[in-house]
């Protein structure tokens, strides 16, 4: 199972909007994945007994705290407010295709067609000058976008480790009732109780048998 498909797609995305959307999807994948593991296996501890030990609840807190302090919505707002265009050529082609699609329903979309047509003509003769028109993303924005990517990539690495090591044999294998939980290869209370009852019954039978023989 691959857990970083959204980050792979991020590299080839043609728009900043799509890149932020993919980062948001990856955030949700990690967060939901940890919640599912916590619900199913409990607050499992990894690297237990070492200085690098960590629990599922700590992973969830790490993801929550990072995005609380660094909301992805701030990137989306800046893209919309400043009109950043990652690939002007792609943007022009996208506008042109949308115009062609809207022409099919020209009567219902006359206003939108005019707006897009004007935008197309404005950009068409100036795609070399898009930078000077203020369409290029600022260096600060690009640094923040890369910061989000790198941090989410680190969170993905940790989540991948957790997800791939959660179902190891003999570790937190859970069933529908707590009486049947095997933890670290140990016997459950249910099994231990059953063995005690059987041993006691065998002992009583043998005692009666030898008493009769005597």
DSSP 56-125: HHHHHHHHHHHHHHS-THHHHHHHHHHT--S-HHHHHHHHHHHHHHHHTTTTTSHHHHHHHHHHHHHHHT
Place of tokens 């690297």: 47
Other Cβ atoms less than 10 A from the Cβ of 149: the count is 17
Predicted local confidence at residue 144, as pLDDT: 93
pTM for this structure?
0.61
Strands of 47-105, DSSP E? 54-55
pLDDT in tens, the chain (214 residues): 789 999 999 998 888 999 999 999 999 999 999 999 999 999 989 988 888 999 999 999 999 999 999 999 999 999 988 888 887 665 566 667 777 777 776 666 677 777 777 766 666 554 434 333 345 788 899 999 999 999 999 999 999 999 998 866 334 333 222 333 333 344 444 445 555 556 565 556 655 555 555 5
- At residue 31, the pLDDT reads 95
Q: Which of 35, 60, 21, 15 is nearest to 148 (CA)?
A: 21
**What is the per-residue pLDDT for 212?**
58
Q: Which residues contact 165 (CB under 8 A, 6 or more apart)?
A: 46
Q: Are 154 and 160 in contact (CB under 8 A)?
A: no
**Per-residue model confidence (pLDDT) at position 36:** 94
Q: Where are the alpha helices (DSSP H) in 108-138?
A: 110-124
Beta strands in 27-106 (DSSP E): 45-46, 54-55
């Amino acid at each position: 199972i691959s857990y970083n498909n959204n980050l792979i797609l991020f590299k080839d995305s043609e728009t900043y909007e799509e890149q932020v959307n993919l980062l948001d999807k990856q955030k949700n994948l990690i967060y939901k994945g940890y919640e599912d593991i916590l619900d199913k296996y409990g607050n499992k501890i990894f690297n237990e007994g070492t200085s690098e030990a960590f629990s599922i609840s700590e992973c969830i807190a790490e993801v929550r705290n990072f995005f609380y302090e660094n909301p992805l919505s701030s990137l989306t707002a800046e893209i919309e407010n400043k009109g950043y265009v990652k690939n002007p050529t792609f943007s022009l082609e996208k506008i042109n295709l949308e115009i062609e699609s809207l022409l099919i329903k020209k009567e219902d979309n006359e206003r939108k067609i005019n707006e897009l047509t004007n935008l197309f003509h404005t950009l068409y003769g100036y795609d070399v000058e898009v930078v000077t028109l203020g369409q290029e993303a600022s260096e600060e924005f690009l640094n923040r976008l890369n910061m989000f990517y790198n941090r989410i990539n680190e969170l993905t690495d940790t989540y991948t480790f957790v997800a791939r090591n959660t179902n190891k044999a003999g570790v937190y294998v859970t069933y529908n009732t707590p009486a049947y939980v095997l933890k670290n290869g140990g016997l459950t209370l249910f099994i231990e109780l059953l063995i005690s009852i059987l041993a006691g019954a065998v002992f009583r039978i043998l005692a009666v048998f030898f008493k009769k023989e005597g």
